[in-house]
Structure 1
Amino acid sequence: MAREDDQVRGIVAEGFEGVREAFTSVLDEARVAPEAQLVVHVDGRRVVDLWGGPGTEADTLTGLFSITKGATHLVVALLVQDGVLDLDRQVASYWPEFAAEGKDRLTLRELLAHRSGVVGVDGGFTTEELADDRLTAARLAGQRPFWEPGAAYGYHGFVIGALTGEVVRRVTGRSIQEIYEERIRAPYDLDFHLGLPEALEVRRADVLPMLPTAEEAALLAANATAPDSFQAVAFNQNATPPTDLVAFANSRAVRALGPTSVGGVGTARGVAGMYAAAISEVDGRAPLLKPETVTEFARVHYRGTDLITGNEDVFGLGFEELSARYSFLGPDAFGHSGATGSLAFADPASGVAYAYTRRRFGFPTGFGAGLENHRLAEAAVAAAAGRRVLSSE
Structure 2
Amino acid sequence: MPSATNASHGTVAAGFEEVRAEFTRVVADEPGLGAQLAVRLHGEPVVDLWAGAGVHGDSLLALYSSGKGAAHLVVALLVQEGVLDLDRPVAEHWPEFAAEGKGAITLRQLLAHQAGLIGVDGGFTTAELADDRLLAERLAGQRPYWRPGSAYGYHAFVIGALTGEVVRRATGRSIQELYRERIGLPLELDLHLGLPEELERRYVPVQPAPPTPIRNSDTPVPGSLTRIAFNLDATPPTDLVEFANTRAVRALGPTSSGSVGSARGLAKMYAATISVVGGRRPLLGAATLAEFTRLHSTGIDLVTGERDHFLLGFEAQGVRYPFLGRDAFGHSGAVGAQSFADPGSGVAYSYTRRRFAPGGGGGARENHRLAAAVLRAARR
Deviations 1:287-345 (A, max 9, x none): 00112211211121232211101111110000001112212211211000111111000
- The answer for unaligned runs of 5 or more in structure 1 is 387-393
Q: Is the 8 A contact 2:2 2:25 kept in 1?
A: yes
Secondary structure (helix, strand or coil) at the match of 1:206 reads coil
- The answer for unaligned runs of 5 or more in structure 2 is none
Q: 1:257 aligns with which of 252, 261, 266?
A: 252
Deviations 1:34-77 (A, max 9, x none): 31000000011001000001111111111100111000100001
Q: Is the 8 A contact 1:330 1:349 kept in 2?
A: yes
Q: Residues 241-390 of structure 1 correspond to what in structure 2 (within 5 A)?
A: 241-365=236-360, 367-386=361-380
Partner of 1:101: 100
Partner of 1:389: none
Q: Is the 8 A contact 2:67 2:257 kept in 1?
A: yes
Q: For residues 131 and 266 of structure 1, what CA distance do their matches in structure 2 show?
A: 17
Partner of 1:55: 54
Of residues 338-347 and 224-233 in structure 1, the stretch that sits farther from structure 2 once superposed is 224-233
Partner of 1:176: 175
Secondary structure (helix, strand or coil) at the match of 1:80 reads helix
Q: Is the 8 A contact 1:339 1:369 kept in 2?
A: no
1:33 Cα deviation after fit: 3.3
Instruction: Kindly report structure 1 stretches of 4+ aligned residues shifted beyond 6 Å.
Output: none
Q: For residues 49 and 363 of structure 2, what CA distance do their matches in structure 1 show?
A: 18
Q: For residues 276 and 117 of structure 1, what CA distance do their matches in structure 2 show?
A: 32
1:229 Cα deviation after fit: 1.1
Deviations 1:170-208 (A, max 9, x none): 000000000000100000100000100000011111011
Q: Is the 8 A contact 2:314 2:329 kept in 1?
A: yes
Q: 1:218 aligns with which of 214, 234, 246?
A: 214
Partner of 1:64: 63
1:283 Cα deviation after fit: 1.1
Q: Is the 8 A contact 1:65 1:249 kept in 2?
A: yes
1:152 Cα deviation after fit: 0.6
Deviations 1:224-259 (A, max 9, x none): 122311111100111111110000001100000000
Q: For residues 86 and 218 of structure 1, what CA distance do their matches in structure 2 show?
A: 45
What is the TM-score with the length of structure 1 in the denominator? 0.95
Partner of 1:232: 227
1:107 Cα deviation after fit: 1.1
Q: For residues 325 and 123 of structure 1, what CA distance do their matches in structure 2 show?
A: 32
1:382 Cα deviation after fit: 1.5
Partner of 1:132: 131
Q: For residues 371 and 56 of structure 2, what CA distance do their matches in structure 1 show?
A: 21
Residue type at the aligned position of 2:68: K
1:222 Cα deviation after fit: 4.7
Secondary structure (helix, strand or coil) at the match of 2:318 reads coil
Secondary structure (helix, strand or coil) at the match of 2:311 reads coil
Q: For residues 218 and 125 of structure 1, what CA distance do their matches in structure 2 show?
A: 26
Secondary structure (helix, strand or coil) at the match of 2:324 reads coil
Partner of 1:35: 34
Q: For residues 241 and 33 of structure 2, what CA distance do their matches in structure 1 show?
A: 15
Q: For residues 372 and 5 of structure 1, what CA distance do their matches in structure 2 show?
A: 19
Secondary structure (helix, strand or coil) at the match of 1:311 reads coil
Of residues 171-180 and 291-300 in structure 1, the stretch that sits farther from structure 2 once superposed is 291-300
Q: Residues 138-217 of structure 1 correspond to what in structure 2 (within 5 A)?
A: 138-212=137-211, 216-217=212-213
Q: For residues 9 and 368 of structure 1, what CA distance do their matches in structure 2 show?
A: 23
Q: Percent identity?
A: 62
Partner of 2:10: 10
Q: Is the 8 A contact 1:338 1:369 kept in 2?
A: no
Q: For residues 177 and 183 of structure 1, what CA distance do their matches in structure 2 show?
A: 10
Residue type at the aligned position of 2:86: L
1:374 Cα deviation after fit: 1.0
Q: For residues 222 and 247 of structure 2, what CA distance do their matches in structure 1 show?
A: 27
Q: For residues 61 and 217 of structure 1, what CA distance do their matches in structure 2 show?
A: 31
Of residues 308-317 and 298-307 in structure 1, the stretch that sits farther from structure 2 once superposed is 298-307
Q: For residues 297 and 222 of structure 2, what CA distance do their matches in structure 1 show?
A: 28
CA RMSD of aligned residues (A): 1.0
1:223 Cα deviation after fit: 2.1
Q: For residues 354 and 293 of structure 2, what CA distance do their matches in structure 1 show?
A: 27
Q: Is the 8 A contact 2:297 2:309 kept in 1?
A: no
Q: For residues 50 and 236 of structure 2, what CA distance do their matches in structure 1 show?
A: 35
Deviations 1:263-292 (A, max 9, x none): 110000111111011111011110001122
What is the TM-score with the length of structure 2 in the denominator? 0.98
Partner of 1:22: 22
Deviations 1:120-158 (A, max 9, x none): 001111111110000000000000111111111000000
Q: Number of aligned residue pairs: give it.
A: 380
